[in-house]
Chain A
Amino acid sequence: MELEKVLQHHFGYTSFRPGQKEVIEQIVKGKDVIALLPTGMGKSLCYQLPGYIFNKPVLIISPLLSLMQDQVDQIKQLKEKRVVALNSFLNATQKKVTIQHLHQYRFIFISPEMLLQPQVQQKLNSMELSLIVVDEAHCISQWGFDFRPDYLRIGEVMDKANRPPILALSATATQKVLGDIESYLKMNEPFTFIHTVDRPNIHMGRVLFQNREEKLDWILEHVLETAGPGIIYTQSRSKTESISERLLQMGISTAAYHGGKDTLDRQFIQQQFIDGSLEWIVATNAFGMGVHKQNVRQIIHESIPSNVANYMQEIGRAGRDGKDALAILLFADGDDEFAKFVGIDDFPNEVHVDLYLEYRRRNESPSTMIQNGEISETAYRVLDYWMHQIHPNEVKHQLLTMKTDKIRAVEEVVNLIRTKSCMREKLVHYFGQNLMEKPSDCCECCGLDYHNIIQKRESFEQDETAVSWKKRLETILLGFS
């Protein structure tokens, strides 16, 4: 079979991107595959295309609801009707009907929680699949960063004798995570494709400050003088609001973006960013996945990311068109302490373990802890998972180890920032690879002149005259016919 023909026919692309063909060939042969491709390289195609080769459904396990929606939308755009998302958004009847007809779909997206439900299990056991995909597979590692207990349990359902091949996809994974993926998913001598994590067109800057308050002034000045489009990452929702407010006041078209925004707002922001009417987005790490904008020129980190992999993901949103882009990390003394605090703040501890046991002893459901305000929901999920896996004393130990890991992850970021050699080299090493070649203006340490990379901002007069509502409506409804 000629894969290029299928590519052309169903997707309208003339050639594969690096890695895609290699991965698909192995899947077609029936082998398990781990594919590490940088953000935006086209990981989705690695399972979309096989969907048109096999005659049985492809099952895609996807960790984030919003991401799942994007992927479903993306496939529907290809005029594919046989695609469905099985997640907690469905009500009881919708769920039942969907499960009943599950075998008729070409692509089935499913959340880890759903996957573990008995009705779903039963249905899946009664039908044949052509491929099981685990997207964002780094989530599976217990040492991974976005710990999701349900993700760990995927392994429990991968145990069948005559299961189809498994494809694990991720943009970033260290050697350790790679090993975890393989063992947790019980993969069988997987073919592993690792693309180099280095992005030579992204130049890595860094600015040090005495105290945190100075950052805002720096940002305001920098944004006023240099051209976007760009993204400013910060750690809290309220900060996205306050920084964007300041930029707006200076006449820079900006929007705040975080998980608390309503769905319409989020789509409006993405659309405006892509069509060029927004210069800057000030966001928490909720922004990024599923946003395909080719010409992002700048990424600024106002707060340090909680680990190196997140940093990689976030700067990876820049320069997808292959042209130069600049990523600048702002760091002040005390930032690391703050990042550690935020990282472990919402994490269960020994006291919670004892409390959990206390509830059990009283024959009460430990989940009452959440209602009683004794623990957050996320923290409870982590705790509950481990209490079912190992002995309570071991849980205490386990939690402590995980906490230490989170702290170490922050320290790794700090090492990257504080390095006197090459930031790029350090970053690439972190993922167990070697840097072959340094681009000019490589990083702050090797020597980097921001003006070589980014342009001066042309202050374009914004059209202040707001159109009347009647005119606006008329344009939307009749303006394009």
Chain B
Amino acid sequence: MIFEQILLQIFHNFNQERTISAPFHLLKGKRSGQTIQDVGIYHLHKFFSILPKLSRPHYDEKLNSLIEEHYLIVHDEGSYELTDSAREFVKDGEKYYFNGWYYRGNEHIFFARLSLIVQSLSHHGAGRMSFTPIQKDDHIQHWVRQFLLINQYKEGNLQKTLLDEIVGSLESSKVEERAKSIVINRLAGFQTAGLTWQQISYQENLSEMDVQLIYISTLHSWITQISNHPEQYLLLNQLAKDIRVVIPLSGSAHQTAELFRKGYLIEEISHIRRLKVSTIEDHIVEIAMNDPDFSIEQFISKEDIKKVMTAVDDYNTRKLKILHEVVPHLSYFQIRLVLARGE
């Protein structure tokens, strides 16, 4: 269900301008110019790389069932269109938060660290000094060992502090209760095995794919919640370290982004960097395209954003020149910002 909704949403955003394979590459996080550009143009940051292991047969199978259920009509030349029932269906899926562009699968590293820490602390609490670690990766094992030493696990308070942090941060995360259960059910400890995907799927009456999507979505919101409160969740913030991917901007845009973050205005940055204002504006557009959390409302009002979007719809175009004729009171820069966001 959720998977189908996500697929349709991606198709919806692509606005019939991409092939039937484009969502597949997006979900797998293909590092090609086309896919990366599409992320910005069609505002698909959420879904980039959330299913790196998705197989083509599985994708095709889902695609076929969407066609059979009359959500999607595929024409002979390979173009497609969404039906009205699809548009309704899509809305339901929007409640799941994803931030694939930022996390790129690293949420699994966060969870691996967490699961080995929890398993270790559970055994330590039970007085068991040796056990078979459920995370086999050397990097993870090494990292966790350091973590336990730095946080003085031997004193015996770590269990309680960690428990409080996990409960506190999960409680204030905006996700459903069953989603929290799914994540916690994947943890194991002394004499406590975790639940398999099959078991959770049976318990929740969801497909395994949907369970995994909810799991990923929950990790994304949770880690975001943790990172937004660094002083409140001291331990969990250590786990969340280096989990977000630094936004892959071009070198020069990156420097602009740094200065902008420090509070400099476009003109000032242009002066400091001895670059033309238009170049700095290019950078800002690139940042807006790559960073979904970057607010463009600091450059253009909500109403004007709407006006540009309406123009895009009315004239069914993304050509700057035409749009500028429709909303002449806005600069090219402002229009480009709106297009960069695709909304």
Given contacts A469-B185, A478-B125, A478-B159, contact A255 B199 (CB under 8 A): yes
B191 touches A480 (CB 8 A): yes
Q: In the bound complex, what is the Cα–Cα distance between A261 and B125 (angstroms)? A: 30
- Any A CB within 8 A of the CB of B118: yes
* Complex interface residues of chain B between 84 and 100 (CB less than 8 A to chain A): none
Q: Which of A244, A466, A469 is close to B198, meaning CB atoms less than 8 Å apart?
A: A244
Contact digits for B89-115, partner A, Cβ 8 Å, 1 yes 0 no: 000000000000000000000000001
Q: In the bound complex, what is the Cα–Cα distance between A261 and B202 (angstroms)? A: 16
B190 touches A255 (CB 8 A): no
Looking at the complex, which of B34-42, B160-168, B287-295 is the stretch in contact with chain A? B160-168
Interface centre among B115, B184, B203 (most CB of A within 10 A): B184
Q: Give, as a whole number of angstroms, the nearest-CB distance from A478 to chain B.
A: 6
- Any B CB within 8 A of the CB of A53: no
- Any B CB within 8 A of the CB of A275: yes
Q: Which residues of A contact B125 (CB under 8 A)?
A: 477-481
Looking at the complex, which of A4-12, A73-81, A432-440 is the stretch in contact with chain B? A73-81
A268 touches B193 (CB 8 A): yes
Q: Which residues of B contact A475 (CB under 8 A)?
A: 189, 192
B132 touches A268 (CB 8 A): no
Closest to B126 in A: A480
Q: Which residues of A contact B126 (CB under 8 A)?
A: 480-481
B193 touches A77 (CB 8 A): no
B193 touches A480 (CB 8 A): no
Given contacts A76-B130, A469-B180, A477-B163, contact A261 B122 (CB under 8 A): no
Q: In the bound complex, what is the Cα–Cα distance between A275 and B188 (angstroms)? A: 13
Q: Give, as a whole number of angstroms, the nearest-CB distance from A65 to chain B.
A: 10
Q: Which residues of A contact B131 (CB under 8 A)?
A: 77
What is the interface size of chain A, counting residues whose CB is below 8 A from a CB of the partner? 37
Q: In the bound complex, what is the Cα–Cα distance between A110 and B318 (angstroms)? A: 59
Q: Which of B122, B170, B180, B203 is close to A480, meaning CB atoms less than 8 Å apart?
A: B122
Q: Which residues of B contact A474 (CB under 8 A)?
A: 163
Q: Which residues of B contact A470 (CB under 8 A)?
A: 167
Q: Which residues of A contact B195 (CB under 8 A)?
A: 268
Q: Which residues of B contact A265 (CB under 8 A)?
A: 196-198
Given contacts A76-B130, A277-B193, contact A477 B118 (CB under 8 A): yes
Q: Which residues of B contact A261 (CB under 8 A)?
A: 196
Q: In the bound complex, what is the Cα–Cα distance between A256 and B198 (angstroms)? A: 8
Q: Which residues of B contact A262 (CB under 8 A)?
A: 197
Q: In the bound complex, what is the Cα–Cα distance between A272 and B199 (angstroms)? A: 12
Closest to A73 in B: B132
Q: Give, as a whole number of angstroms, the nearest-CB distance from A137 to chain B.
A: 25
- Any A CB within 8 A of the CB of B248: no
Q: Give, as a whole number of angstroms, the nearest-CB distance from B275 to chain A.
A: 39
* Complex interface residues of chain A between 457 and 481 (CB less than 8 A to chain B): 466, 468-470, 472-481
A473 touches B187 (CB 8 A): yes
Q: Give, as a whole number of angstroms, the nearest-CB distance from A286 to chain B.
A: 15
- Any A CB within 8 A of the CB of B258: no
Q: In the bound complex, what is the Cα–Cα distance between A76 and B136 (angstroms)? A: 13
- Any A CB within 8 A of the CB of B121: yes
Given contacts A275-B191, A470-B167, contact A94 B118 (CB under 8 A): no
B203 touches A476 (CB 8 A): no
Contact digits for A176-189, partner B, Cβ 8 Å, 1 yes 0 no: 00000000000000
Name B's A-contacting residues (CB within 8 A).
115, 118, 121-122, 125-127, 130-134, 136, 138, 156, 159-160, 162-163, 166-167, 170, 177, 180-181, 183-199, 202-203
A–B Cβ pairs within 8 angstroms, 20 of them: A255-B196, A265-B197, A265-B198, A268-B194, A271-B188, A271-B193, A466-B203, A468-B181, A469-B177, A469-B181, A470-B167, A472-B185, A473-B163, A475-B192, A476-B188, A476-B190, A477-B160, A478-B160, A478-B163, A480-B127
Assuming A268-B188, A469-B184, what are 14 further A-B pairs, CB within 8 angstroms? Answer: A77-B130, A94-B138, A262-B197, A265-B197, A272-B193, A466-B203, A469-B180, A469-B183, A472-B187, A473-B184, A477-B160, A479-B125, A480-B126, A481-B126
Can you list the 8 inter-chain pairs with the closest CB atoms, starting with the nearest?
A476-B189, A480-B126, A481-B125, A271-B193, A469-B184, A265-B196, A469-B181, A477-B159
